[in-house]
Chain A
Amino acid sequence: MHPFSYEKVTNEHEALERARLGKATFVAGGTTLVDLMKLNVEVPTALVDINGLPLNQIEDRSDGSIRIGALVRNGDLAHDSRIQSRYRVLSQAILAGASAQLRNMATTGGNLMQRTRCYYFRDPVYPCNKRQPGAGCAAMDGYNRIHAILGASDTCIATHPSDMAVALVALDASVHIRAANGERVVPIMEFHLLPGDTPDRETVIRPGELITYVTLPSGPFGPRSAYVKLRDRASYEFALASAAVALQLEGTTVRSARVALGGVATKPWRALEAEQVLTGAAANKATFLNAADAALTGAVPRRHNAYKIELAKRAVVRALADALTH
C-alpha cells in the first residue's frame, strides 16, 4: 500500500474544504476502499475519514418521505422497522448482500460508490479501461461469466455489484450531493453512469463531492415489493442476477410497476420495457413471464454469460410473484 495522510472531520464544511485543498479521498466503512488499496487498484494520497459527520440518522420527513444519512450502516437500515414495513424490497436487498460483519461497516453512501467485482479490474496485471483508460479490456474476450449483458460498451462489460442500489431504483430514490459550492439532488436513475467511452467514470459524483443523504419518496411503491437474488452460493456472494420489483394494484390489475435488475448490467438497471408490459395488465404468471421477456430484450451476451438471460428472467418472475402474494 502506498503511504497516505489521514484526517478525521466532524462537519461537512470541513470535509469539503479538506477535499478541495488536498485531492482527498473520503473513507466511510472502508470495505471497498481499504480492500482496493491493498490491491493497489485505489491509490489515494490523502484520506478524509467522514465517520464523525452527523449523517447517521434515518428520519421521517413531513412530506411522508424518509431521509437516510449517508453514514447509516447497511445493517441498521435493513433492520429499521419503517424500512421493513414501508420499503420491504430495500430491507431484503441489503440483507441479501455481503455478511453481517460487512453490513455493520458498510454505509449508505459507500454502497452506492462501491466498485465492480470484475476480476481483471481488481488485478493490476491485466489491462482494464476502467482502472486505466485506454489500456484495453481483459474481460471482453477473457473469462466473462460474471459480466454484464445489459448496458455494456466496447470499452467495458463490468457489472455494478450493489444490491441496495437496485432496490433504490425500484423505489425512485434520490441522492443528495454536497459540493463546496452548494447542494444538488440527483434521481437514483441518473446517479450511476453507463460505461460508454469513459468506464472510469461510474457516477455523477465529481472529485471532492460528498453524498449526504438518500431519500425515499412516500409514493405508491414499497410495501408490495420484493427482491430476489440468484448467485453461486446461498449467502455471502454477489449476484449473478437479481430483481427488485414493486407493484401497485387495482383489484387484480397492475396499476403501475417498477422493475430493476442487478448483477446483469453495468449500472443498477431499470427495466422500463417490463414496467410497460405490466401496467394495465392482469397480475398473473402469464403477465410476469411477458414482463421478464421484455426486461431482457436488449440483452447482449458474451462468450460465457448467455445463461444470465434466462437467470434474470426467472429472478423477475419470482420477485413479481413474491411481491404479489406478500
Chain B
Amino acid sequence: MSITPIDRLEFIRITAAATSVRKDTKSGVSVAPSASVTRALALRVNGEAVRLDVDTRVTLLDALREQLQLFGTKKGCDHGQCGACTVHVNGRRVLSCLTLAVMHDDDDIITVEGLERNGVLHPVQEAFIEHDAFQCGYCTAGQIMSAAALLNEPCGPSDDDVREQMSGNLCRCGAYPNIVAAIQSARGRA
C-alpha cells in the first residue's frame, strides 16, 4: 500500500484503532484506509462560539442535532429533497443535510432556536402562530427558516411568487395556504 504525504497526515489524526483496507471496486487497487478521520472545528451557532470534534462524514444537520442537541432542525429526507433541515449559514438559507460539518469552520450558523431575539419571536414565527401555519409541525422549522431568509431575498409580491420561492420546503400535511398567508403577513403584504 503506497501512502502519499496527505494520507500519512490523516493517519495520525485517525481515531479508530482498527484500520481495514478497502478495495476500490473500479480499479481493483488498494486505496486509503477505512478508519474514521476527525477534525476540530470552531464556529458560531446561534451567536455562541462552539468548538466541535467531528468525523469528516458528519453532515452539518447531524452535528447540530446529535452533537449540539439542537433538535429544532429536522431530518426529513436527508437528500436535499424536502427542506426540513433548512438553516442559515452566514445569513443565507441552505440545506444542512447536504453539507458536511467540517466545511463550516469559522461559519456563522443560525437554527430555528436562534431566530428569536431576547425572548421576542421573529416576525415569521409570530405570523406562523397567528395564521396556524402548521399541522404536525415536522416541516415547520424548515419553513420558518426559509421564510425568514426570504424576507431579505428578491421575491415578487404575489402569492405565486412566494410559493415559487418556498417550493424547496415540502409540507406533507398540506398546510401550504396558511404558510403562504403567514409569510405574506410577515412581509407586510397581506
Taking beta carbons and an 8 Å cutoff, which residues of A are in contact with B? 1-8, 18, 21-24, 27, 29-31, 34-35, 37-38, 43, 45-47, 49, 51, 79, 98-102, 104-105, 132-133, 234-236
Contact = CB atoms under 8 A, between A and B. Distances in A.
A49 B4 CA distance: 18
Contacts of B6: 5, 7, 18, 21-22, 24, 46
B94 interface: yes
A105 B95 contact: yes
Given A5-B7, A5-B32, A6-B56, A102 B150 contact: no
A21 B10 contact: no
Given A31-B98, A35-B80, A101-B86, A132 B93 contact: no
A47 B168 contact: no
B15 to A, nearest CB: 10
B94 A101 contact: yes
Contacts of B165: 100
Contacts of B10: 5, 46
A99 B79 CA distance: 13
A99 B168 contact: yes
B9 to A, nearest CB: 8
Interface size class of B (residues with CB under 8 A): 35 or more
A104 B5 contact: no
Given A5-B56, A104-B92, A30 B34 contact: no
12 contacts: A2-B34, A4-B32, A5-B56, A6-B56, A22-B6, A24-B6, A30-B98, A34-B98, A98-B168, A99-B168, A100-B165, A133-B26
A6 B167 contact: no
B103 A45 contact: no
B37 A100 contact: no
B60 to A, nearest CB: 10
